[in-house]
Chain A
Amino acid sequence: MKLYDSIELAARNLRESVLRNSLTTLGISVGVASLVAMLSLGIGLQQLASRRLQRSGLFDSIVVTSRRNLRSFDREQEESGPAPAESPDLNEAARLKIANVAGVVEVYPDLRFITEVRFEDKPHLTMVAGLPSSSKDGDSFEGMQGRFFSAEDAHEVILQKSFAAELLGKSTRGPDEINVVDVARPLIGKQVMMRYSERESSGQDAASYSVISHEMPLTIVGVTDLDPDSMRGSARARLFIPQKLIESMRPMQAYDMRASGGVTSSQPIYSNVVARVSGAGKVDAVEQAIKKLGFNTFSILDATKSMRRFFAILDLFLGIFGSLALTVASIGIVNTLVMAILERRREIGIMKAVGASDADVRGLFFAEAGAMGLLGGICGTALGWLIGRVINFGTNIYLKRQGFPPEHIWSVPVWLVAGTLGFSFVVSLLSGLYPASRAARLDPVQALRYE
């Protein structure tokens, strides 16, 4: 019998017991819906985490340190690479070399220092860090009050909210208690006075330099929610000034003290520089190129690998749980078809008497199982999609109430739709294996006697 005829006869048979077959199909739909809902949630969460990481700028950043720096990140590399004494300094020339590596978008030194900041004549001690203008595109400053720096060397400052609270004299037990909007309102537009020490080389001898104390007035332009201890942004800094400004200030760095014994040039030497790469995919190649220049590197790419592994395992488990419902539904198919064999025993006998082969009968039951699977798959995917939307909607209402921006925690990609449809179809066919072969093996004489 031709496939079309099998499908046509199968459709007719399914219509004959419409209630029973609809309930079986509904069972498959629920199974498929649970699978789609589970997997779409897993995929959505993975995409959310990847998006967050990508926007944080950590994905495409490489921290470069000199091998002379004993605090460099990669100890293993130090042992295998050139001796620390022979490796180049991380100075302005090195920065240019790194900037010329293919794939590098910008290179900036990680400049930071602890200093005193005066606000309304009261002194406050804090860590100050430089911030490149590219930072504003990331999500580090999401939810920031005010604005980003007007220019790369503007005398402006962005405060971390706990420091802003400190300036206002508010005593807080934790950063969660501070509302960034409340602390920003009285501060934006006001001025703070920052004191810093400039490192000035004296003569040809690079090892000797003088320290000149300065004071610089800065206008508060923004207050950020950024957690100073998080990996995003400049760790532990609570006051940010434009990168170009901090570079022009030539502030005294902790590294200057340590390096003074072996400094070979009069140029400023950086403890570490950050190389931003045009895409996360190029990080590996750029890292290798920078290592060849004689520096140590560190990127978070390895951390993302373990994240991907975590989500693969999560998806697997979600998929297994989702598949359980589909497995139960497939038992429903077996039950429905076995019942159909009992009911249609005589009909099968008639078909065999008028020339149906075993394969024809088998094909007919397969077509019925497949049709239920496919129909259940389509309805289930739609149902799963709807469940996902509802979960997403509910989550966003919750997030909104908690003061967070809405998120897309659920995703149904085309491959998931196609994969689930295919999976439910195959599972249904597998469920039809036993009933189909049982129907095919029916003895026509016995079947024709059946009343």
Chain B
Amino acid sequence: MGSATIRAVDGITLKIAAGEFVALLGASGSGKSSLLNLLAGLDSPSAGSVIVESQSLSGLSREELAKYRRHTVGMVFQSFNLIPSMTVLENVELPLRFAEVERTKRGAMAANALEKVGLSGRLKHRPIELSGGEQQRVAMARALINEPRILLADEPTGNLDSRTGTGVMELIRRLNESLKMTVILVTHERDLAEKYSDRLIFLADGKVMADQPNPARAAAGAKP
């Protein structure tokens, strides 16, 4: 028991262009979150490589990977992953501490990021005092504070009601369009993926079952 090897991500070859909005779809255990962790540099593949901006992540040291997570990617999680003992402002400031941004600049930068997600009035609140949607927007502000070029969102609406979820997705879409930020969205909600993403990648048992442009958006020919 426990000795069987499970290939969470198995022989996947993908290319994602800069500025693309990609949705990874699949059932639970299909390998979509594992793939996202590989892209985030939180995990490393036992074979193969992840190349981001012409740089192989497997060739990076732990320190370089931390730097990559700090500046190149921003992450949003289903369970928000805010630190409960910190205020909203402090949570958003946290990546700036690791990036060694000067103290005097940090407050203003975090407040600005929170303003962009519509939370300028909740700076001193603790995460527990916010609604799920607000917490996810705080997480968004934190993910964006270092101006990453890639946003990795792991079921960002999973814990939200549909109306709040839509609000979060609208925000992600806006970021993708206005900042030309690459977005890789992990979701099991096909409707959501079809509504917002440009490309749909279906995974099952760690393998890519289908990789196709989003027909709904292609047909619409316009942004929602």
Contact = CB atoms under 8 A, between A and B. Distances in A.
B146 A444 contact: no
A5 B96 CA distance: 10
A356 B100 CA distance: 11
A353 B153 CA distance: 12
A360 B83 contact: no
Interface string B31-50: 00000010010110000000
Mostly, the B contact residues are helix
A346 B82 CA distance: 10
Contacts of B146: 355
A445 B75 CA distance: 13
Contact of A350 (B40, B63, B83, B99): B83
Contacts of A5: 97
A16 interface: yes
Interface stretch (B18-26, B65-73, B195-203): B65-73
Interface of B: 37, 40, 42-43, 62-63, 66-67, 69-71, 75, 77, 81-83, 85-86, 94-95, 97-100, 103, 142-143, 146
Q: Which 5 A-B pairs have the closest CB atoms?
A: A355-B70, A357-B66, A355-B98, A354-B95, A5-B97
Given A1-B98, A352-B66, A358-B66, A445 B37 contact: yes
A347 interface: yes
B148 to A, nearest CB: 10
A353 B83 contact: no
A382 interface: no
12 contacts: A12-B86, A351-B98, A353-B75, A354-B95, A354-B142, A355-B71, A355-B95, A355-B146, A357-B66, A360-B98, A444-B42, A445-B42
Interface string A1-34: 1101100010011001000000000000000000
A359 interface: yes
Contacts of A12: 85-86
A445 B43 contact: yes
B43 A357 contact: no
A448 interface: yes
Interface of A: 1-2, 4-5, 9, 12-13, 16, 346-347, 349-360, 444-445, 448
Contacts of A445: 37, 42-43
Contacts of B97: 1-2, 5, 9
B67 A357 contact: yes
Contacts of A13: 85
B63 A358 contact: yes
Contacts of B86: 12
A45 B85 CA distance: 51
Contact of A355 (B67, B81, B85, B103): B67
Contacts of B62: 357-358
A1 B69 CA distance: 14
Nearest to B92: A354
Contacts of A353: 40, 42, 69, 75, 77, 81
A355 B69 contact: yes
Contacts of A360: 66, 98
A1 B67 CA distance: 11
Given A1-B100, A352-B42, A448 B81 contact: yes
Contacts of A354: 69-70, 75, 94-95, 98, 142-143
A360 B146 CA distance: 17
B62 to A, nearest CB: 5
Contacts of A444: 42
A230 to B, nearest CB: 68
Contact of B77 (A347, A351, A358, A448): A448
Contact of B81 (A1, A2, A16, A350): A350
A355 B69 CA distance: 5
Contacts of B94: 351, 354
A210 B100 CA distance: 100
A347 B146 CA distance: 19
Given A353-B40, A355-B69, 7 more contacts: A4-B103, A13-B85, A353-B75, A354-B75, A354-B95, A355-B95, A360-B66
Given A352-B42, A354-B69, A354-B75, A347 B63 contact: no
Contacts of A350: 81-83
Contacts of B43: 445
Nearest to B38: A445
Give the interface centre of A2, A12, A355 by most chain B CB atoms within 10 Å.
Answer: A355
Nearest to A353: B75
A421 B71 CA distance: 40
A32 B171 CA distance: 56
Given A1-B98, A445-B43, A355 B37 contact: no
B98 to A, nearest CB: 4
A187 B32 CA distance: 108
A356 B98 contact: yes
B66 A16 contact: no
A347 B86 CA distance: 11
A2 B100 CA distance: 6
A356 B66 contact: yes
A412 B81 CA distance: 50
A347 B91 CA distance: 11
A407 to B, nearest CB: 53
Nearest to B142: A354
A346 B80 CA distance: 12
A211 B77 CA distance: 115
Give the interface centre of B37, B95, B97 by most chain A CB atoms within 10 Å.
Answer: B97
Contacts of A352: 42, 66, 69
Contacts of B63: 357-359
Contacts of A347: 83
A363 to B, nearest CB: 11
